[in-house]
């Protein structure tokens, strides 16, 4: 029977098609809410529908909603979905990543924490340049102290909201690091620059330290929703906590099985501690999966169930089992790539789009072999991540002109600009200019115009500086006059002499660089079309906060290649995960049990991206950096997948016992291709052998990537058995 409508009309729209826990989450009123959302359980739907409901039913002003997503792309998608539900009111909603939300706050209130509003954002390469200078100041040899590790320590400290003066000092090393940290921070400030961690840290400092500002934002944000909460770090946690007061309308959505960023300071404990901070929190679990086949889901569950430290839960689906998972042993990475091409062929035969196919791997370097094969097979593809477009030297060099025009204190960009192209000014001249700038209390860039007054410069150096001064001045005045950004990029390209430099070079490489920079001009034009209030600094900011995952093109009819980290939050009909091998996945650098668990969660994330078909490959040999071939063992995660879920090469491939490779049969007398082979670690090496009556007959013994023995003797199985 159909009784009278119990809800107003919008309810049928917002609640139709939702399962009971999803409805509960959407209908939740005020107060803290924790949604434990398994993979593919429709959390984005819950988030968007809940926001729509807050606006429509609870009369919450769109401008008082802050929705935090993991990537800019996810934010854009959320906006798009919300637009369908609440129309143009979506414009007032803050949907952003933690970092971009912080920038937005800081662009307004940075003066409260000692920064100007036009501060620069330093990416990894800018940081590296700056930290090198700090090491230089401290007279520390960068070969003895790795600048990257120092940055790692500093980053860890910042994520825990610890300043240089709050660090524990237990050793000379600690003291050294703290001194560097101090210098680094001072230099950042002098540059009017923040690194990624500062964006979070200073925002927390701002909000916790300044009552007026704090109340302003607390007043403003009445509802806070955070996605991917399992991957928040301490600074982000504190940010949510302070913004959530006093209303405490905080909704967090996450899955402790999908925490894969602990190396970046993320703490899965945040999700578990939510109930401690908000004892009155409502907790809702979403366990029905709408994405994958039963077989894929079962495999994912089985793998992650091997993690001892987790909230037990089991995703389920009513979609039916679907086809088996395929585990394919390959001879090497080229054959792995052929498996990918084979799957592409199969998709084409089935009339499916190439956009439905994704290839995942543990490390970016693995994309190469697949790319080579796809090129040969004329298969269109996109690679997400890897060598970054915006971090290419020529792009950064050109951007340096624009950055310096916005922020004259940016010495890192100044240093780039000075040497590209070469104009006869080197370190010596810069030191003199810098001394003058300090003396006059001028930003380095502004001192350029006074080149005539700087002591000890030769005429060509003066000319070089003056030329630079006028380029920067021109960019700056055009920017003030709101000349379109693409015109500014073009201006910098021409007037800096970079185009002339590359044209004079004439090499194919220089041609490529010119194309890259022309692409940057087009990016500027595209930004002008899209941005609501375009500005040069807005453009630079977007670039700084741009993430690889933002570039994923889901409709372009091409195969998508990316690391599993980048695949978070995405889904594809067909997924191939390559390199399912010990020491690669799980990665060899994952040594502790905790790290192994994180690798396993990563595996879980990868598997659960697949809707319909999942192929896992591993290679017997693989070459790493052009060097010799390494013999490989299949990933332990493969053995954690239930045998009945696996088709293709069959269960043999799921254990450490697999058919003898045919190339081994050739060299081992008395062995047949059907014999079972065992891969095992033995001492520091990797053994490939054949089991015969409890004894391992050695076929190969590899150590340090080199083959030490080919066929020889035997060893008791017990000694060899380990992985």
**At its nearest, how many Å lie between DNA and the CB of residue 422?**
4
Beta-strand relationship, 250-254 and 33-37? parallel
Is 545 a residue that touches DNA (CB under 7 A)?
yes
Of the pair 144, 718, the CB lying nearest DNA is at 144
Q: Respond yes or no: is residue 553 known to be catalytic.
A: no
The span from the CA of 134 to the CA of 131, in Å, is: 5
Instruction: Candidates 55-63, 258-266, 352-360, 640-648: pick the segment binding DNA (CB under 7 A).
Output: 258-266
Of the pair 217, 390, the CB lying nearest DNA is at 390
3-state class of 544 per DSSP? Answer: helix
Q: Are 647 and 658 in contact (CB under 8 A)?
A: no
The span from the CA of 557 to the CA of 379, in Å, is: 10
Is 444 a residue that touches DNA (CB under 7 A)?
no
Q: Are 611 and 292 in contact (CB under 8 A)?
A: yes
Is 50 a residue that touches DNA (CB under 7 A)?
no
Q: Respond yes or no: is residue 44 known to be catalytic.
A: yes
The span from the CA of 154 to the CA of 380, in Å, is: 41
Q: What is the DSSP letter of 581?
A: B
Of the pair 353, 419, the CB lying nearest DNA is at 419
Is 588 a residue that touches DNA (CB under 7 A)?
yes
Q: Respond yes or no: is residue 396 known to be catalytic.
A: no
Q: Positive or negative CA dihedral for 592, 598, 600, 602?
A: negative
The span from the CA of 243 to the CA of 234, in Å, is: 14
Q: Which of 198, 228, 256, 397 is catalytic?
A: 228
Residues 611-650 that bind DNA (CB under 7 A): 624-627
Is 120 a residue that touches DNA (CB under 7 A)?
no
The residue behind tokens 């919008």 is: 10
The single residue among 43, 362, 416, 700 that binds DNA, judged by CB under 7 A, is 362
Q: Positive or negative CA dihedral for 191, 197, 198, 203?
A: positive
Is 146 a residue that touches DNA (CB under 7 A)?
yes
Nearest in space to 152 (alpha carbons), one of 173, 129, 176, 131: 131
**At its nearest, how many Å lie between DNA and the CB of residue 709?**
25
The span from the CA of 648 to the CA of 613, in Å, is: 12
Of the pair 142, 323, the CB lying nearest DNA is at 142
Residues 190-229 that bind DNA (CB under 7 A): 196
Is 547 a residue that touches DNA (CB under 7 A)?
yes
The single residue among 71, 307, 621, 654 that binds DNA, judged by CB under 7 A, is 71
Is 253 a residue that touches DNA (CB under 7 A)?
no
Tokens of 81: 């979905």
**At its nearest, how many Å lie between DNA and the CB of residue 76?**
13
**At its nearest, how many Å lie between DNA and the CB of residue 295?**
27
Of the pair 293, 590, the CB lying nearest DNA is at 590
Is 496 a residue that touches DNA (CB under 7 A)?
no
**At its nearest, how many Å lie between DNA and the CB of residue 461?**
7
Q: CB pairs under 8 A, 24+ apart, for 129-137?
A: 129/412, 129/415, 130/184, 130/187, 130/188, 130/191, 130/193, 130/412, 131/180, 131/184, 133/187, 134/180, 134/183, 134/184, 134/187, 135/180, 137/183
Listed in sequence order, the residues at least 6 apart from 429 whose beta carbon sits closer than 8 Å to its beta carbon are 457, 461, 464, 465
Measured CA distances, 466 to 400, 405, 427, 651 (Å) = 17, 15, 16, 72
Instruction: Candidates 43-51, 92-100, 335-343, 350-358: pick the segment binding DNA (CB under 7 A).
Output: 92-100
Q: Which of 71, 205, 232, 258 is catalytic?
A: 258
The span from the CA of 365 to the CA of 555, in Å, is: 25
Of the pair 502, 701, the CB lying nearest DNA is at 502
The span from the CA of 243 to the CA of 239, in Å, is: 6
Nearest in space to 106 (alpha carbons), one of 120, 89, 87, 90: 120
Q: Respond yes or no: is residue 227 known to be catalytic.
A: yes
Instruction: Candidates 307-315, 361-369, 573-581, 662-670: pick the segment binding DNA (CB under 7 A).
Output: 361-369
Q: Mark 408-427 with x for binding to DNA (rule: CB under 7 A) and - for no binding.
A: -----------x--xxxxxx
Q: How many CA atoms lie within 13 A of 576 on its CB side?
A: 28
Of the pair 10, 624, the CB lying nearest DNA is at 624
The single residue among 99, 298, 600, 613 that binds DNA, judged by CB under 7 A, is 99
Instruction: Candidates 167-175, 492-500, 541-549, 703-711: pick the segment binding DNA (CB under 7 A).
Output: 541-549
Q: Which of 23, 44, 79, 707 is catalytic?
A: 44
Chain residues binding DNA by CB under 7 A are 70-71, 97-99, 123-124, 128, 142-143, 146, 148, 196, 260, 263-264, 362-365, 385, 393, 419, 422-430, 461, 545, 547-549, 562-563, 565-566, 587-590, 595, 624-627
Catalytically annotated residues: 43-44, 227-228, 258, 609
């Amino acid at each position: 029977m159909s009784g009278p409508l119990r809800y107003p009309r919008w309810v049928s729209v917002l609640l139709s098609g939702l399962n009971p826990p999803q409805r509960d989450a959407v209908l939740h009123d005020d107060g803290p809410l924790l949604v434990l959302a398994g993979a593919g359980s429709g959390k984005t739907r819950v988030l968007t529908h809940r926001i729509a409901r807050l606006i429509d039913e609870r009369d919450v002003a769109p401008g008082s909603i802050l929705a935090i997503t993991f990537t800019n792309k996810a934010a854009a998608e959320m906006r798009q979905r919300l637009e369908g539900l609440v129309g143009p009111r979506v414009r007032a909603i803050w949907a952003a990543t933690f970092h971009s939300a912080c920038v937005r706050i800081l662009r307004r209130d940075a003066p409260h924490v000692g920064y100007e509003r036009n501060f620069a954002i330093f990416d990894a390469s800018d940081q590296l340049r700056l930290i090198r200078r700090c090491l230089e100041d401290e007279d520390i040899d960068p070969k003895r102290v790795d600048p990257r590790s120092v940055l790692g320590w500093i980053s860890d400290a910042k994520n825990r909201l610890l300043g240089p003066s709050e660090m524990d000092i237990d050793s000379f090393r600690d003291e050294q690091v703290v001194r560097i940290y101090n210098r680094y921070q001072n230099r950042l400030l002098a540059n009017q620059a923040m690194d990624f961690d500062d964006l979070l840290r200073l925002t927390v400092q701002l909000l916790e330290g300044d009552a007026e500002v704090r109340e302003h934002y607390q007043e403003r944000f009445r509802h806070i929703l955070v996605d991917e909460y399992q991957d928040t770090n301490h600074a982000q946690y504190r940010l949510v906590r302070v913004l959530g007061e006093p209303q405490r309308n905080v909704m967090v959505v996450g899955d402790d099985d999908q925490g894969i960023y602990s190396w970046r300071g993320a703490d899965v404990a945040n999700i578990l501690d939510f109930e401690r901070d908000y004892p009155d929190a409502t907790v809702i679990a979403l366990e029905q999966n709408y994405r994958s086949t039963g077989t894929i889901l079962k495999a994912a569950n089985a793998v992650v169930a091997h993690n001892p430290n987790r909230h037990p839960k089991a995703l389920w689906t009513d979609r039916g089992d679907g086809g088996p998972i395929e585990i394919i042993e390959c001879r090497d990475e080229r054959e792995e790539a052929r498996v990918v091409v084979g799957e592409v062929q199969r998709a084409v035969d089935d009339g499916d789009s190439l956009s439905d196919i994704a290839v995942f791997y543990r490390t970016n370097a693995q994309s190469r072999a697949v790319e080579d094969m796809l090129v040969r097979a004329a298969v269109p593809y996109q690679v997400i991540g890897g060598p970054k477009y915006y971090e290419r030297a020529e792009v950064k060099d050109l951007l340096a002109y624009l950055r310096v025009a916005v922020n004259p204190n940016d010495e890192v960009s100044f240093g780039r600009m000075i040497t590209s192209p070469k104009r006869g000014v080197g370190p010596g001249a810069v030191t003199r200019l810098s001394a003058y700038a300090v003396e006059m209390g001028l930003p380095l860039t502004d001192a350029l115009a006074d080149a005539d007054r700087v002591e000890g410069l030769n005429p060509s150096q003066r000319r070089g500086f003056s030329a630079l001064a006028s380029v920067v001045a021109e960019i700056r005045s055009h920017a003030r006059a709101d000349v379109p950004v693409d015109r500014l990029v073009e201006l910098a390209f021409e007037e800096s002499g970079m185009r002339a430099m590359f044209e004079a070079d004439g090499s194919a490489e220089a041609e490529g660089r010119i194309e890259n920079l022309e692409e940057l001009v087009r990016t500027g034009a595209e930004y002008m079309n899209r941005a609501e209030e375009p500005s040069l600094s807005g453009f630079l900011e977007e670039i700084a906060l741009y993430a690889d995952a933002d570039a994923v093109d889901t409709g372009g009819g091409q195969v998508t290649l990316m690391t599993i980290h980048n695949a978070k939050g995405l889904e594809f009909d067909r997924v191939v995960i390559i390199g399912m091998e010990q020491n690669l996945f799980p990665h060899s650098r994952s040594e502790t049990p905790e790290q192994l668990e994180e690798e396993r969660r990563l595996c879980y994330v990868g598997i659960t991206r697949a809707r319909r078909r999942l192929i896992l490959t591993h290679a017997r040999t693989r070459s790493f950096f052009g060097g010799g071939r390494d013999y490989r063992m299949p990933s332990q995660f493969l053995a954690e997948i239930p045998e009945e879920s696996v088709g293709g090469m069959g269960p043999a491939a799921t254990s450490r016992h697999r058919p003898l490779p045919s190339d081994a049969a050739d060299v081992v007398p008395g062995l047949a291709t059907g014999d079972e082979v065992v891969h095992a670690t033995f001492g520091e090496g990797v053994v490939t052998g054949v089991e015969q009556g409890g004894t391992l007959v050695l076929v190969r013994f590899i150590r340090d990537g080199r083959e030490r023995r080919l066929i020889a003797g035997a060893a008791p199985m017990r000694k060899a058995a380990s992985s």
